[in-house]
Amino acid sequence: MSIDFRNIIKPYPSPIITGRGIDLDFPMLAGCLALLGLGLVMITSASSEVAAVQSGNTLYMMIRHLVYLIIGLGTCIVTMMIPIATWQRLGWLMLIGAFGLLVMVILPGIGREVNGSMRWIGFGAFNVQPSEIAKVFVVIYLAGYLVRRQKEVRESWMGFFKPFIVLLPMAGLLLMEPDFGATVVMMGAAAAMLFLGGVGLFRFTLMVVLAVAAVTVLVQAQPYRMARLITFTDPWSDQFGSGYQLTQALIAFGRGEWLGVGLGNSVQKQFYLPEAHTDFVFSVLAEELGVVGSLCTVALFVFVCVRGMYIGLWAEKAKQYFAAYVAYGLSFLWIGQFLINIGVNVGLLPTKGLTLPFLSYGGSSLVICCACLGLLLRIEWESRTHLGSEEMEFSESDFAEEPTHGR
């Protein structure tokens, strides 16, 4: 018996391996690359003073961010080459892996504590944040559940409650770190996916009421959360105490005015505004680029998130329901983080440590955002070409003609 090794090493068709060359959703790719490029510029500016003091090199954090960006783009390419059917089959393993990572991070000696939170696992000079990985794995698992139990989810209470047998323990592990922001984003994305999966309005409303009640209890359970909630309504009442971060962020917005003070000319990044290159990078952007730059950045985020939702809609129209739910879930993760981060920066929400997708400094967040982009590009390609089934036989004729985009 002879083995044709050419079939073994032949890469599986993907948006970057076709008879036509690269076949991507270029509007989505362009929007995300614009955000990544803007993020690199703002990290270089916002981190220069901190990097100079901590390492003696003003470009130290920019170089690290660039390394993470290269890793993230590589991850995006690899993700685009994996069929969506493969992700669907591995849903259970990903869920188990997510639980394993979240348990590991709270174990003494494994998890790394930063600013009082055990959110990172250290690997030499690099830190991995399991909550970023877990959120994506939950989306993939829940998408598979909604496909397998679609009728049960839409018609019975048990189909509605079963996902929470998994989601609530995972939320508990996130709160043990503690990572309240990631918990809210994950549960919000899961609730949105259940609603789009066909959960009745009454059950969905009940879920929202219970979620609001749970958030209220969690806020009151920890004094520091209650202090943040009270302070953000009037940060100037304690501007050198609990309201310090928010007041400095608001000063940055005020200094920026319409056109900003100019790239690199921020005063607030010079140790006035804590976490200027991570959680509050948008405040530095507003100070340096002004209202016009801020609104352009928000417009980019809106475009990318809406495009992600449309990718889910196109997959649903192509009857690729698992891919559609994954696209919806990933889009809601981005929307949740974007709304919370911007809300915190402008004082509409209590201060919460949550990165801004594509822009903030942070290796895990950046790499996972790029991986999500790869998944969305793969979903769009499979729904457009109707080649989303791994069991299909592919030949060069499948890729002979240019596609009709119409999007």
Q: What is the pLDDT of residue 123?
A: 72
* Distance (Å) of CA 115 to CA 87, 112, 118, 170, 275: 35, 10, 9, 22, 11
Q: What is the pLDDT of residue 387?
A: 65
Token couple for 247: 């007041």
- Residue 406, phi-psi category: left (phi > 0), alpha (psi -120 to 50), beta (remainder): left
Q: What is the pLDDT of residue 398?
A: 44
- What does the alpha-carbon distance between residue 28 and residue 48 come to, in Å, rounded to a whole number? 30
Contacts 24+ apart (CB under 8 A), 266-271: 266/45, 266/46, 269/45, 269/46, 269/47, 269/48, 269/49, 269/50, 270/49, 271/49, 271/50
- What does the alpha-carbon distance between residue 288 and residue 167 come to, in Å, rounded to a whole number? 40
- What does the alpha-carbon distance between residue 268 and residue 79 come to, in Å, rounded to a whole number? 38
Q: What is the pLDDT of residue 164?
A: 87
Q: What is the pLDDT of residue 210?
A: 81
* Distance (Å) of CA 296 to CA 37, 55, 276: 14, 33, 20
- What does the alpha-carbon distance between residue 136 and residue 330 come to, in Å, rounded to a whole number? 7
Question: What sign results for the dihedral spanned by CA atoms 94, 99, 105, 108?
Answer: negative
- What does the alpha-carbon distance between residue 75 and residue 370 come to, in Å, rounded to a whole number? 7
Taking the chain, what is the end-to-end CA distance rounded to the nearest angstrom?
48
- This prediction has a pTM of 0.88
* Distance (Å) of CA 13 to CA 17, 22, 269, 348, 354: 6, 11, 46, 46, 36
Sheet arrangement for strand 126-128: 111-114, 117-123, 126-128
| Amino acid letter for position 5 | F
**Is residue 376 a contact partner of residue 28, using CB atoms and an 8 Å limit?**
yes
Q: What is the pLDDT of residue 120?
A: 81
pLDDT tens-place values along the chain, 407 residues long:
444 434 433 456 778 876 667 788 999 999 999 999 999 999 999 888 888 888 888 889 999 999 999 999 999 999 999 999 999 999 889 999 999 999 998 888 788 877 667 888 877 667 788 899 999 999 999 999 999 888 888 878 887 888 888 899 999 999 888 888 889 899 999 989 998 888 877 787 887 888 878 777 776 766 666 666 667 777 777 777 778 888 898 999 999 999 999 988 888 888 888 888 888 999 999 999 999 999 999 999 999 999 999 999 999 999 999 999 999 999 999 999 999 999 989 888 887 778 899 998 878 899 999 999 999 999 999 998 876 544 444 444 444 444 444 46
**Is residue 56 a contact partner of residue 38, using CB atoms and an 8 Å limit?**
no
Q: What is the pLDDT of residue 122?
A: 75
Quick one: DSSP state of residue 14? B
